[in-house]
Structure 1
Amino acid sequence: MAHPDGAASDVPIRDASIRLGQFLKLAGLIDSGADAKSVISDGLVRVNGDVETRRGRQLRGGDVVVFDGRGARVTAG
């Protein structure tokens, strides 16, 4: 279930983009890269409301990632 924008916390990134697996760790939604691979490949992560199964998916400012009922919005650092 996708969250409305208001339910996502803003997480600043250093560069113009970040890979989905890295962002999950940065946002504190998961603990490790191995966890990222597992939850993404199992179809448990949504980006902008759609299931995303590519760990290397490039995220940019404004993208919203939801996992396990928690959301995080990519913001430019």
Structure 2
Amino acid sequence: MASDEVPIRDESIRLGQFLKLASLIDSGADAKAVISDGLVMVNGDVELRRGRQLHPGDTVSLEGRTARVVQG
């Protein structure tokens, strides 16, 4: 499965912020909903923490779409 590379400015980013940055969701409220429903996977594992710190190389998947964190 191909993934989009999404650059971040800092060394890490919170999952909820990254979902919006990667255009996987439209708003922070959407982030809370999809994460609490167990629809978001980080590096192949279901992630239920919106504040999970992501680093370059991590991959985030939601409903068949995948985005990879890269250093910007």
Does TM, normalized by the shorter one, top 0.5? yes
RMSD: 0.6
Counterpart of 1:52 in structure 2 is 47
Residues in 1 aligned to 2:5 and 2:29: alpha-carbon distance in whole angstroms: 24
Counterpart of 1:27 in structure 2 is 22
Residues in 1 aligned to 2:18 and 2:37: alpha-carbon distance in whole angstroms: 17
Q: What secondary structure, in the 3-state scheme, does the structure 1 residue paired with 2:50 have?
A: coil
1:68 Cα deviation from its structure 2 partner: 1.0
Residues in 1 aligned to 2:3 and 2:48: alpha-carbon distance in whole angstroms: 20
Counterpart of 2:69 in structure 1 is 74
Work out the number of aligned pairs and report it.
72
1:60 Cα deviation from its structure 2 partner: 0.0
Residues in 2 aligned to 1:40 and 1:58: alpha-carbon distance in whole angstroms: 14
Percent identity of equivalent pairs: 75
Unaligned 5+ segments in structure 2 are: none
Residues in 1 aligned to 2:23 and 2:14: alpha-carbon distance in whole angstroms: 14
**Please, what TM-score do these two structures have when normalized by structure 1?**
0.92
Counterpart of 2:34 in structure 1 is 39
Unaligned 5+ segments in structure 1 are: none
